[in-house]
Copies of this chain bind each other. A is one copy, B any other.
Amino acid sequence: MRTSIATVSLAGSLSEKLRAAAAAGFDAVEVFEPDLLASPLRPAEVRALAGDLGLAVALFQPFRDPDDVDPAAAARSRERLRHKAALTRELGCDLILVCSSVHAGAVHDDDELAAQLTALADVAAGEGVRLAYEALAWGAHVADYRHGARVVALAGHPALGTCVDSFHVLSRGDDPDDIAGLDKLFFCQVADAPLLGMDVLPWSRHHRLFPGQGGFDLARFQRAVTASGYGGPVSLEVFNDLYRQSDPGRAAVDAARSLRHLADLTAPGTLPAAPSPSGWAFVEVAASAEGAPAVAALLGSLGLARTGAHRRGDVDLWTGGDVRVVVNHRASAERARLSSLGLRSDAPQVLAARARELLAPLVHRPVGPGEAEIPSLVAPDGTWVQFCGDDPDWRGDFLPTGEAATARSFTGIDHVALPQPFAGFDSAGLFLTTVLGMSPGELAEVAAPDGLVRSRAYTSTAGIRIALNVGPTSATLRGRPLASGHVALATTDVLAVVAAFVAAGGEPLPVPVNYHDDLQARFGLDKRFLDALRRHHVLYDRDPDGGEFLHFFTRAVSREFFVEVVERRGGYRGYGAANTPVRLAAQREHPAPGDGSGGGSAQGSRTIRP
């Protein structure tokens, strides 16, 4: 599959866009006319720059409102096309995208429309250029790609063919399979989108996504394109408010990654298949030497013990039951945060080949004598994802301390939650789905005191769960950090864990009395059970099938590190999202040390007791 991207999909100047597309390995670009008009580069200079970068200019776009019921206006359209065709040649390109008309003067008779398109194709052919006619989903007369193709067939001009765009096809609910029967498919654009109930025009202009980030069945679309015999580039045209303001280099990597993954979905085996990670090895918390003791104190209160010390020092292994937490003291002065996810994997070598194809090359930490090599990826938010085999065992890097954990009831890591930068949410999700093969859950929107928080959990077949959270746009403007980076430990008896935690000097995040009053009203819980929840600030949820979720949070060590302990009963599959507003408000009242003075009625912060 030859890959292309429309320059409108990336931020920056035209030259920045071209450089970003080339760096991400694209074969070609579509030049979006407004990008050219705003550029100091003349068309020939664009051609030269693209050539130097190894990029073809596959298409110039868009030529809008080609036809008109007013003959004089139609003549002006041909004259306009003559200019644009000459320009297209200067770009080193021979194809112009022509959109179906949306204006009041649009022709509504297919024969007349075909005649006008034929006249335009004559003009284009005279300049050595072809036209790819695209049915916009909101076209005045032509909105269905099959209708567009019929008009193209009616015109019967060799320089006139069809362009299909997955958004325009799938947003209308049109069947993409008929694309397989198109015999003059000149160009193919793909975009994904969330399934939103809104007018198709603003949906298209603001909410398009790269393949795999939305809800369209693009593999089916793409299989139909392939079946048509189309051999041209597959080109991304993604209008997205956030990618418009994102670093174009990183966005281009997302774009290329999404397209390579789509190629693999369309024709399985295009990418090396990689086994999904089989479970958690560890999570790693990084803190400065000053910050690490608070992390250690928290883990100790939870009944974990420092059972191992790294051969090269400054890194400890804490264990308890089936939970392993690595505490790395080597970080620079930053606050404690989840820095690395250790996943068990049988085949890191196969994974390496696949990751490289998906533009996520493996990196390797320095390996000391006697240590296991742990191939790793760096996620878009900077978190390392490390793949731990059984032989050699990564635990061999740690020398036993002789200490023993008191906590036996932890059955493993339930999930981790990673805070994302505002424009990085969809990027991180794409990494998890394509590179790690995880499945996205539903988007949750949660009201925090200072704005809405979006959250989405990704799951793997082996039961790995990673939740991504992103705060409101201007959280930093109001100076209140969003507390969301944490690890959730699974237990079979959360009430016993919290009692032991408190007895050991731990402090659960305080939950308002009003919250537990509401639990009683909603669920009619047994009074003694409710009192137990209330006493130790344990939250509760119940799903429609009777599954139950009991969980508490520790006070935060930092805005990016705290611990949740969860107990799932009866097959509960969620994350207690209904409780998240209460948790976020409580964290605002009781912020982590150094994270500001909290809410108006907060009494100031207290540190976790060592």
In angstroms, Cα B12 to Cα A584, docked, is: 11
How far, in whole Å, are A353 and B18 apart by their CA atoms in the complex? 58
A241 within 8 A of B: yes
Indicate if A581 sits at the interface (CB-CB under 8 A). Answer: yes
Whether A172 sits at the interface, judged by CB under 8 Å, is no
Asked whether B515 lies within 8 Å of A38 as measured between CB atoms, the reply is yes
Q: Is A36 a contact of B473 with CB atoms below 8 Å? A: no
A449 x B601 contact (CB < 8 A): no
Determine if A475 is an interface residue (Cβ-Cβ < 8 Å).
yes
Q: How far is the CA of A490 from the CA of B369 in the complex (A)?
A: 76
A452 touches B198 (CB 8 A): no
* Distance between Cα atoms of A83 and B524 in the complex (Å): 10
Which residues of the partner chain B approach A43 to less than 8 Å between Cβ atoms? 514
- Contact of A517 (CB < 8 Å), options: B87, B423, B513: B87
How far apart sit A450 and B247, CA to CA, in the bound complex (Å)? Answer: 9
**By the criterion CB–CB under 8 Å, are B581 and A520 in contact?**
no
Which of A13, A515, A586 has the most B CB atoms < 10 Å from its CB?
A: A13
Which residues of chain B have C-beta atoms less than 8 A from A599's C-beta? 12-13, 15-16
Q: Judging by beta carbons under 8 Å apart, are B13 and A585 in contact?
A: yes
**Contact between A518 and B37, CB atoms less than 8 A apart:** yes
A581 and B422 contact, CB distance less than 8 A: no
Residue of B whose beta carbon sits closest to that of A11: B450
Q: Which bracket fits the contact residues of A?
A: 35 or more
Are the CB atoms of B601 and A13 closer together than 8 Å?
yes
A540-554, CB < 8 A from B: none
Contact present for B451 and A241 (CB under 8 Å)? yes
Complex interface: chain B residues within 8 A of A601 (CB): 13, 15-16, 40-41
Residues of B contacting A515 with CB < 8 Å? 37-38
User: Does A444 sit at the interface, judged by CB under 8 A?
Assistant: no
Check A245 for interface membership: any CB of B closer than 8 A.
yes
* A85 CB → nearest B CB, Å: 10
Contact partner, A450, options B34, B245, B474, Cβ 8 Å? B245
B-contacting residues, A408-459, CB 8 Å = 421-423, 445, 447, 449-452
A87 surroundings in chain B (CB, below 8 A): 517
Query: Is the Cβ of B449 less than 8 Å from the Cβ of A11?
Result: yes
| A269 CB–B CB distance under 8 Å | no
Interface residue A478 (Cβ < 8 Å from any Cβ of B)? yes
User: Does chain B have a CB within 8 A of A526?
Assistant: no
A517-B37 Cα distance, complex, nearest whole Å: 9
A573 an interface residue at 8 Å Cβ cutoff? Answer: no
Residue pair A38, B198 in contact (C-beta under 8 Å): no
Is A39 touching B452 in the complex (CB atoms < 8 A)?
A: no
Task: Provide the residues of chain B in CB contact with A524, threshold 8 Å.
Answer: 76, 79
A600 at the interface (CB under 8 A from B): yes
Residue of B nearest to A243 (CB): B451
CB of A589 closer than 8 Å to a CB of B: yes
Judge if A313 is at the interface, Cβ distance under 8 Å: no
Interface flag for A521 (CB, 8 Å): yes
Task: Name the B residues within 8 Å of A584 (CB-CB).
Answer: 38
- A28–B452 Cα gap in the complex (Å)? 25
Q: Per-position contact with B for A2-19: 1 when CB-CB < 8 Å, else 0?
A: 000000100111011001
Query: Could you give, for residues 517-529 of chain A, a 1 whenever the CB lies within 8 Å of some chain B CB and a 0 otherwise?
Result: 1101110100000
The answer to the question of A196 belonging to the interface, with a C-beta cut-off of 8 Å to chain B, is yes
Task: Contact check, B198 vs A512: say whether CB atoms are below 8 A apart.
Answer: no
| Chain B min CB distance to A581 (Å) | 6
A582, B37: Cα distance in complex, Å: 7
Among B11, B16, B196, B447, which residue has its beta carbon within 8 angstroms of that of A244?
A: B447
Interface: A197 (CB within 8 A): yes
Structural contact, A522 and B80, CB atoms closer than 8 A: yes
A13 and B449 in contact, given A84-B521, A585-B39 (Cβ under 8 angstroms): yes
At the interface, yes or no: A391 with Cβ under 8 Å from chain B? no
- Tell me the chain A residues, 336-355 only, with Cβ under 8 Å from chain B: none
A42 at the interface (CB under 8 A from B): yes
Contact B13 A600 (CB under 8 A): yes
Given contacts A42-B513, A601-B40, contact A472 B241 (CB under 8 A): yes
Annotate A463-494 by CB proximity to B: 1 below 8 A, 0 otherwise: 00000000011110110000000000000000
Which A residues from 229 to 246 make CB contacts under 8 A with B?
241-242, 244-246
Interface centre among A12, A33, A588, by most chain B C-beta atoms within 10 angstroms, is: A12
Q: Beyond the given A13-B589, A40-B510, A423-B474, could you list 18 further A-B residue pairs with CB under 8 A, ordered by the A residue number?
A: A11-B449, A12-B449, A15-B601, A36-B514, A37-B518, A38-B512, A38-B514, A38-B515, A39-B514, A39-B585, A40-B601, A43-B514, A79-B521, A197-B198, A244-B451, A244-B472, A246-B474, A247-B478
A sample of 28 inter-chain contacts (CB < 8 A) reads: A8-B447, A11-B449, A12-B599, A13-B449, A15-B600, A19-B600, A33-B518, A34-B581, A37-B581, A38-B512, A38-B584, A39-B514, A40-B510, A42-B513, A43-B514, A80-B521, A87-B517, A197-B198, A197-B199, A241-B452, A244-B450, A244-B451, A244-B452, A245-B450, A245-B452, A246-B474, A247-B478, A473-B474
